[in-house]
Structure 1
Amino acid sequence: MIADSASPRLSPEHAARLRRYGSPETLTAGQRLFGPGDASYDLFLVDEGEVHVIAPGIGAAPEEPIVRFGPDEIVGELSLLTREAPVLIGRVARGGHAHRVSGDGLRRLMVEDPELSDVLLRAFIARRARLSGSAARRTTTIVGPERAKGTLALRTYAARLALMHEWIDPDSVHGSALLRATGLRPEDLPAVILPMALLTNATPGDLAHALGLDAAAQLTETVDLVVVGAGPAGLAAAVYGASEGLDTVLLDRQGPGGQAAASARIENYLGFPSGLSGADLTGRAAVQALKFGARLSAPCTVTALDRSDRRLHMRLSDGTQIATRATIIATGARYRTLDLDRWDDYVGAGIYFAATELEARACAGAPVTVVGGANSAGQAALFLASKGCAVTLAIRGPEIGRSMSAYLIDRILADARIDVRTSTKVAELRGDERLREIRLGRDEPQPCAGLFCFIGAAPETGWLTGLATDDDGFLRTDAQLSPEDLGDAWQALRRLPLPFECSVPGVFAAGDVRSGSMKRVAAAVGEGASAVRSVHAAIGSEPR
């Protein structure tokens, strides 16, 4: 059983306040409150009786009780906010009474009662962490070779969304037994085993659909705000938009975090003197946005944006269209790559654009090379060295100090596990199904279990048409726009572009995708929050 620290017993006052958001219900022994196959579930406050949460049997594994809840305890966890379909079973062990709080009721509580909201949110987060270390993690089992591109994509997606999950190596004893029990073949991998489905040759999109995390496909009404991109700028926009009463939808083609999630450690973010990982920072922000009622859909690719009937229409790769009164483009930038043979073959199979625990485990103790001379490259080199890797830091320029913070340079030069090579380029990639060796300049080939590429990025604006950009493709906004950039729609509105507004009314840009932005996490957060103020002004100025 999971310890009760994640299951607070509500005070009489808190319990009474929570009941006001729910409706009374009789509990009958053996009654199933929720389980795999349900589209969603509700929060329950147990008044009398006992409810057990159970990990369903999968393969040869039988059902296993995870936690039990009694009077004045709540049944539910983080999936109530993410709107993830239940993968655990809630069953009444001893009859009694409870109050059922619907999703709408819970979201209303989160806005109206900050104190009680904080109690529930802390419990939800603690439970997700505890459940992820229990038998509950087998409810989403990823099976695939550790270093395979598809396996890494699934594991990265599950980690970014903090899904309860486990990964099984098909070549392990447990993995072989699991393949036999489920009938999976090597050609079916990577696969995901869920209580309600078996996904073969699975992608993050398949997993999202099975768990009901493709919220965008379910939208039929016009929303107030669509935020495209869930990096720091997009997450900040979603937090402020949703918390200020806007019906907010957040879309991202991968998952929350953006490039910031690839940072092993951010030490110069205000308020965190000991530093924190990019994944931790953006993960907290995602929960914050969900708390205020924002809807997150990932992976979700937006392919086009057009304006008609005084509304903006976002077209997704699956053909879905979302109508919105305003949008904030926070797509950031896509990673630059090296012009080398077989580069695309090795992306995710030895070439990485992030240095997190997942990539580090795949390269543990082996020689790796980090390419780049800015802070992200320095942070990656230090992190990988701390995991026992012999690191070559390859910098194209003649010196290390040109684009990197002084505190990182001092640590890198003091670390015997890091070999700094300036005026150096990667000349060749070698390997079979994955990267095995690289050649730097005219040197002999050297072993390389992982090539970590941090050489900058280009704006992610290729899907947009009709918006004014600078010569490098970054979106121009407000004072950067000339009269020639503004079409007839502006005359009808009788106003000029607001701060962060692009050349099309109602379209805003924030973060790295915007021309002239600072390209720092803190600056992106500020821009995302500030853009929401302009969204309010734009919506308020719409013709009646």
Structure 2
Amino acid sequence: MTATRAEGPDLEQLLAAVPPGETPDLHGAFPRLDEARIQELSALGERRPTRRGEVLIAEGEPDEMFYVVLSGRVAAVEALGTPEQRVIRVHGPGRFLGELGLLTGQVAFLTWLVADPGEVIAIPAERLRQITLSDPAFGDEVLRAFLIRRWLVLDQGLGFRIVGSRYSPDTRRLREFAARNRLPHRFVDLESDTAADALLRHLGLGPEETPVVIWRDRVLHNPSNAELAGLIGLRSDRSRSEICDLVVVGGGPAGLAAAVYGASEGLDTSLLDGVAVGGQAGRTSRIENYLGFPAGISGGELAERAIIQAEKFGARATVPAEVIGMEAGEGEHVLRLADGDSVAARAVIIATGARYRRLPVPRLEEYEESSVYYAATPMEAQVCAGDPVVVVGGGNSGGQAALFLADHAAQVRLVIRERELGEYMSRYLADRIERDPRVEVLVHTEVRELQGERGVLESVVVEDLDTHERRVLPAHELMVFIGADPCTEWLPDTVAVDSGGYVLTGPAAVQDGSGLDGGQARQPLLLETSTPGVFAAGDVRSGSTKRVASAVGEGSMAVRLVHEYLATVR
């Protein structure tokens, strides 16, 4: 790799401002490698000197090299070469550089600049992946550090900026896409951020031209999700011209498990998702009853770990890639994408899950663009900060949202139809809510009206189902978790569904007992649909348990059945 040196009159001023010493380790984000490990890596990479001002990793460029600092110091800098440049962190001998993009293929969100000359070990990213496969302990140390570093840059609001009004549908779309994909960014709100007007004037733009995405010297005017994904290297550009063994549609827990097991067991596997990996689970602030994580894990981190695991085994993930149709060909299934592309596979696993239902109240559409949400992630927490919030839903999603938002909102009220919290909610979660004084629970109650002016929610009217007494609850945001409908509108009629639209599998898929293809002797395999070679797993499947653990189990089981199917057709 050819070394480059940053240029510009402010470079020396920036280097002179680098604080002495190094940034303390934060939660294991910046571990120091021991001498034995450094010697092992020295034999696998190139030792080379560094000079003051040299750029090792450039912001906005693919992160393709893993560096270990042997001597000298390296600074992580935001917006190098712009008036907003600043030093974020400083690292010395024994530390390794980089962030999650080194494993995922995304571009770097910081520039790593040599502050004091010394020496580094440089290892290509592909070789690093091989090392982590052969040395799981080291791989886990690197992955854990990179995940925490991603959390830190998200928390600090580094990365690109989304400038727009919180009431704009396109602004909300971009923010949700960035948040669900855990992309480092900062939201500049036209309604409340005092710097927004000056920023737009500097760019020669008016408020009516927003939303815009700004990153260094690039300005994207109301980009599509695919354009934003391309900016940061999220969307795969791998060729899809050949027929693959397996395409998994949907990146929730079931789809991610299918991708991991499919690729690890030798199938040429592709995963497609229209928005982000993680599904509904990815929107969950904390999953506390998933096996192996006694302290709990956020849905976003679980999804991030899973997609890295799938890609480690060779699975190809493409996001966003919305599937709008499927057609059967000679020994293959062709999936049509919204962008006009298509993907062909010998077998398909449908893991598209379900989307939350909308609240059946008047004027809902008037407030949906500004004040109604169907997730509780850090993005929603930022919106709700200091506001009164109403959460609707008596299941685990509603309970988790209420507890998470209680750390940010001025007041949280949880509205449920059930007579007690534990009716549909896990007992551990119901107990925590009942002990939390920050959450007021209104049982046996439903929302009747939404109130506010010019599309901005001010209050929610609820009614007790026994007494019919109504109460006005102040609320600037309404969070809705009242059940879900399956994402199956893209499926052809040849895939049988039940009365609720969920995909039928196994014997239920051919209820007349005639077998597949209207008369073949073979009955569908356990998770196979009425279309041979097409399987379903997770929440989208009729009769599924609607839990993360069961979805993961079904995704892995579906892969075993795919092997069985492919053996018969080959």
Instruction: Please tell me the residue identity of whatever aligns with 2:457.
Output: L
Instruction: Provide the residue aligned with 2:476 in structure 1.
Output: 449
Instruction: Please tell me the residue identity of whatever aligns with 2:141.
Output: V
Instruction: Provide the residue aligned with 2:537 in structure 1.
Output: 510
Farther off after superposition, 385-394 or 297-306:
385-394
Instruction: Figure out how many residues of one structure are paired with residues of the other and give that number.
Output: 535
1:157 and 2:153 matched: no
Kept in 2: contact 1:225–1:248 (CA 8 A): yes
Deviations 1:196-229 (CA, angstroms, capped at 9, x unpaired): 5212224543321211212167544433332222
2:446 match: secondary structure: coil
- Give the deviation of 1:350 after TM superposition: 1.0
The two structures have a TM-score, normalised by structure 2, of 0.81
Instruction: Provide the residue aligned with 1:369 in structure 2.
Output: 390
Instruction: Please tell me the residue identity of whatever aligns with 1:164.
Output: P
1:323 match: secondary structure: strand
| Cα separation, 1, equivalents of 2:411 and 2:55 | 53
| Cα separation, 1, equivalents of 2:367 and 2:239 | 35
Deviations 1:340-397 (CA, angstroms, capped at 9, x unpaired): 3442342251111122333233233433322223232233334434545434433345
1:199 match: secondary structure: strand
Q: Give unpaired runs (5+ residues) of structure 1.
A: none
| Cα separation, 1, equivalents of 2:285 and 2:69 | 41
Kept in 1: contact 2:287–2:297 (CA 8 A): yes
1:376 match: secondary structure: helix
Instruction: Provide the residue aligned with 1:113 in structure 2.
Output: 135
Kept in 1: contact 2:447–2:460 (CA 8 A): no
1:177 and 2:198 matched: yes
- 1:306-455 equivalent positions in 2, closer than 5 A: 306-397=327-418, 400-413=421-434, 415=436, 417-441=439-463, 443=470, 446-455=473-482
Instruction: Provide the residue aligned with 1:532 in structure 2.
Output: 559
Kept in 2: contact 1:216–1:322 (CA 8 A): no
Instruction: Provide the residue aligned with 1:300 in structure 2.
Output: 321
Kept in 1: contact 2:248–2:351 (CA 8 A): yes
Instruction: Provide the residue aligned with 2:516 in structure 1.
Output: 486
| Residue from 114, 119, 124 that aligns with 1:101 | 124
1:257 match: secondary structure: coil
Instruction: Provide the residue aligned with 1:193 in structure 2.
Output: 214
Residues 322/85 of structure 1: CA separation in 2 closer, same or farther (3 Å cut): farther
Residues 397/90 of structure 1: CA separation in 2 closer, same or farther (3 Å cut): closer
The two structures have a TM-score, normalised by structure 1, of 0.85
Instruction: Please tell me the residue identity of whatever aligns with 2:325.
Output: A
| Cα separation, 1, equivalents of 2:260 and 2:374 | 27
Residues 425/192 of structure 1: CA separation in 2 closer, same or farther (3 Å cut): same
Instruction: Provide the residue aligned with 1:140 in structure 2.
Output: 160
- Give the deviation of 1:65 after TM superposition: 7.2
| Residue from 511, 519, 522 that aligns with 2:549 | 522
Instruction: Please tell me the residue identity of whatever aligns with 1:454.
Output: F
Instruction: Provide the residue aligned with 2:83 in structure 1.
Output: 60
| Cα separation, 1, equivalents of 2:92 and 2:345 | 41
1:121 match: secondary structure: helix
2:346 match: secondary structure: strand
Instruction: Provide the residue aligned with 2:66 in structure 1.
Output: 43
Instruction: Please tell me the residue identity of whatever aligns with 1:43.
Output: F
Kept in 2: contact 1:46–1:99 (CA 8 A): no
- Give the deviation of 1:518 after TM superposition: 0.8
- Give the deviation of 1:331 after TM superposition: 0.8
Instruction: Please tell me the residue identity of whatever aligns with 1:498.
Output: L
Higher relative contact order (CA 8 A, sep 6+): 1
Instruction: Provide the residue aligned with 2:8 in structure 1.
Output: none
1:86 and 2:108 matched: yes
Kept in 2: contact 1:217–1:320 (CA 8 A): no
2:543 match: secondary structure: coil
- Give the deviation of 1:31 after TM superposition: 6.2
Kept in 2: contact 1:48–1:98 (CA 8 A): no
Kept in 1: contact 2:261–2:556 (CA 8 A): yes
- Give the deviation of 1:538 after TM superposition: 3.0
Instruction: Provide the residue aligned with 2:9 in structure 1.
Output: none
Instruction: Provide the residue aligned with 1:249 in structure 2.
Output: 270
2:539 match: secondary structure: helix
| Cα separation, 1, equivalents of 2:29 and 2:374 | 35
Kept in 1: contact 2:77–2:85 (CA 8 A): no
2:195 match: secondary structure: helix
Instruction: Please tell me the residue identity of whatever aligns with 2:161.
Output: T
Kept in 2: contact 1:56–1:88 (CA 8 A): yes
Deviations 1:108-142 (CA, angstroms, capped at 9, x unpaired): 444343233223323322433444466xx543122
| Residue from 484, 487, 499 that aligns with 1:471 | 499
Residues 423/486 of structure 1: CA separation in 2 closer, same or farther (3 Å cut): same
2:348 match: secondary structure: strand
Kept in 1: contact 2:102–2:125 (CA 8 A): no
| Cα separation, 1, equivalents of 2:119 and 2:411 | 61
| Cα separation, 2, equivalents of 1:65 and 1:517 | 46
1:306 match: secondary structure: strand
Residues 412/122 of structure 1: CA separation in 2 closer, same or farther (3 Å cut): closer
| Cα separation, 1, equivalents of 2:104 and 2:455 | 36
Residues 269/50 of structure 1: CA separation in 2 closer, same or farther (3 Å cut): closer
- Give the deviation of 1:332 after TM superposition: 0.7
Farther off after superposition, 508-517 or 364-373:
364-373
1:498 and 2:528 matched: no
Farther off after superposition, 302-311 or 144-153:
144-153
| Cα separation, 2, equivalents of 1:222 and 1:92 | 46
- Give the deviation of 1:26 after TM superposition: 6.2
| Cα separation, 2, equivalents of 1:252 and 1:204 | 12
Deviations 1:13-42 (CA, angstroms, capped at 9, x unpaired): 5456556766x5866757655535645634
Instruction: Please tell me the residue identity of whatever aligns with 1:250.
Output: L
| Cα separation, 1, equivalents of 2:152 and 2:436 | 35
The percent identity for this pair of structures is 43
- Give the deviation of 1:456 after TM superposition: 0.5
- Give the deviation of 1:89 after TM superposition: 3.6
Residues 165/122 of structure 1: CA separation in 2 closer, same or farther (3 Å cut): same
Kept in 1: contact 2:496–2:530 (CA 8 A): yes
Instruction: Provide the residue aligned with 2:4 in structure 1.
Output: none
Instruction: Provide the residue aligned with 1:125 in structure 2.
Output: 147
| Cα separation, 2, equivalents of 1:106 and 1:309 | 41
